[in-house]
């Protein structure tokens, strides 16, 4: 157990999670600016992008790059500095750290090392879009970016289609038309949807309608800017679909063999699936499966 008291004197440094504006610099908070000035180091998703922000607010703290391509080596380096008493702020290109960036892995590493993690409130694209969408704001489900491959994307949409809550996606301009097409196939063309682009910026725009109507808009418009997509939940969906428990009649070995035969999986893949369903460790399933070999 690790009980954190964020504002007591620490024997180590502190990791501050500092949100940055998603478009409008006036959304930077006084506390966020002060924190960036006071920490010893800023871990930035893109140092060039963050430097523009630092210059605007007259912040002279040093930066270090921290993104998905170098996070494995960087986390150890950052933990070492934190353990040495240095305070570090982590920022993403825009919005909340840990959302669609490697910040979560750093947070987990800090918690495992007994280092305090202090979040600052601030700009967030998903909630900003949700409250102005006109769709039910609660309950809601945040998903983020859909998978790139069509097969995986359709599978993800099929799972989302089971949910009764409003759900939130992020999407890039060059993929939007294909995503809308797949939504029409999986969710149906009458489902309500809201596209939110250029949030907090001069050309902020909300496109509200059915999937069919929004598809038509996309076909006749030059798609620009990053999108936040808010989708009406399935009124007939359920968070708790009826679960197939027939596997309880099978031994672990029989369960693995069932997956191998029915879904044409290799033993390694089947063991992984069985472990997930039975809430067991993969090593335990592996041992039981090979027990009679």
User: What pLDDT is stored for residue 187 in this prediction?
Assistant: 95
Q: Do residues 215 and 283 both lie within one domain?
A: no
Q: Pick from 63, 90, 119: which residue ends a domain? A: 119
- Are 163 and 216 within one domain? yes
Q: Is residue 10 part of a domain?
A: no
DSSP-derived secondary structure letter, 95: B
Strand order in the sheet with 88-91: 63-65, 41-44, 88-91, 15-17, 117-119
pTM: 0.77
Choose among 1, 43, 51, 47: nearest CA to 18: 43
> Does 212 map to a domain?
yes
Structure tokens at 245: 């428990």
Bridge partners, residue 145, by sequence: 170
Which residues are paired to 144 by β-bridges? 169
In this structure, the answer to whether residues 202 and 253 fall within a common structural domain is no
Q: Please report the pLDDT score of residue 98 as a whole number.
A: 86
End residue of a domain, out of 231, 262, 278: 231
Give the residue ranges of the chain where pLDDT is below 50.
none
Q: Is residue 37 part of a domain?
A: yes
Q: Helix, strand, or coil here: 91?
A: strand
According to the model, what pLDDT value does residue 130 have?
Answer: 97
Q: Could you give the number of structural domains in the chain?
A: 3
Domain assignment present for 185: yes
Hey, how many other C-beta atoms are within 10 angstroms of the C-beta on 194? Answer: 23
Q: Mark whether 226 and 251 lie in a shared domain.
A: no
Task: Find residue 171's DSSP bridge partners.
Answer: 227
149 backbone dihedrals φ, ψ, rounded to 5°: -70, 140
pLDDT at 243: 59
Produce one character per residue of 246-256: b if its CB has 16 or more CB atoms within 10 Å, e if not. eeeeeebbebb
Q: Are 137 and 130 in contact (CB under 8 A)?
A: yes
Say which residue the tokens 């960087």 belong to: 74
- In-domain check, residue 4: no
CATH of the domain at 206: 3.30.950.10
Report whether 124 contacts 24 (CB < 8 A). no
Shared domain for 107 and 158, answered yes or no, is: no
Residues 268, 202 share a domain: no
The CA-based diameter of the chain, rounded to the nearest angstrom, is: 69
Residue 142 and residue 166 in one domain: yes
Residues 29 and 115 in one domain: yes
Q: Is residue 140 part of a domain?
A: yes
Parallel/antiparallel/unpaired status of strands 192-197 and 205-210: antiparallel
pLDDT of residue 239: 54
pLDDT value of residue 131: 97
Q: What is the pLDDT of residue 7?
A: 84
Q: What is the domain extent for residue 170?
A: 126-231
If asked whether residues 88 and 135 sit together in one domain, one would say no
Q: How far is CA 114 from the centre of its chain?
A: 24
Of the candidates 152, 143, 192, 191, the residue with the CA atom closest to the CA atom of residue 170: 143
Residue 293, pLDDT score:
56
Quote the CA–CA distance of 111 and 82 in Å, as a whole number. 12
């Amino acid at each position: 157990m690790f009980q954190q008291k964020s504002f007591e004197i620490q024997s180590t440094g502190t990791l501050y999670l500092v949100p940055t504006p998603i478009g409008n610099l006036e959304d930077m908070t006084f506390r966020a600016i002060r924190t960036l000035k006071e920490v010893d180091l800023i871990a930035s998703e893109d140092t060039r992008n963050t430097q523009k922000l630092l210059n605007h607010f007259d912040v002279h703290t040093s930066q270090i790059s921290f993104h998905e391509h170098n996070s494995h080596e960087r986390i150890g380096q950052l933990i070492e500095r934190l353990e040495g008493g240095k305070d570090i702020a982590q920022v993403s290109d825009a919005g909340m750290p840990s959302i669609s960036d490697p910040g979560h892995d750093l947070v987990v590493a800090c918690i495992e090392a007994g280092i305090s993690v202090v979040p600052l409130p601030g700009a967030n694209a998903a909630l900003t879009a949700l409250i102005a969408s006109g769709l039910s704001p609660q309950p809601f489900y945040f998903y983020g970016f859909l998978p790139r491959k069509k097969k995986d994307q359709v599978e993800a949409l099929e799972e989302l289609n089971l949910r009764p809550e409003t759900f939130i996606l992020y999407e890039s301009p060059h993929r939007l038309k294909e995503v809308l097409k797949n939504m029409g196939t999986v969710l149906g063309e009458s489902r309500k949807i809201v596209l939110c682009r250029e949030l907090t910026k001069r050309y902020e725009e909300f496109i509200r309608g059915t999937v069919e109507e929004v598809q038509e808009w996309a076909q006749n418009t030059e798609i620009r800017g990053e999108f936040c997509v808010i989708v009406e939940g399935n009124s007939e969906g359920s968070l708790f679909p009826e679960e197939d428990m027939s596997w309880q009649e099978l031994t672990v070995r029989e369960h693995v063999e069932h997956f191998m035969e029915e879904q044409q999986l290799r033993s390694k893949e089947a063991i992984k699936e069985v472990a997930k369903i039975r809430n067991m460790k993969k090593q335990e399933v592996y041992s039981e499966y090979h027990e009679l070999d």
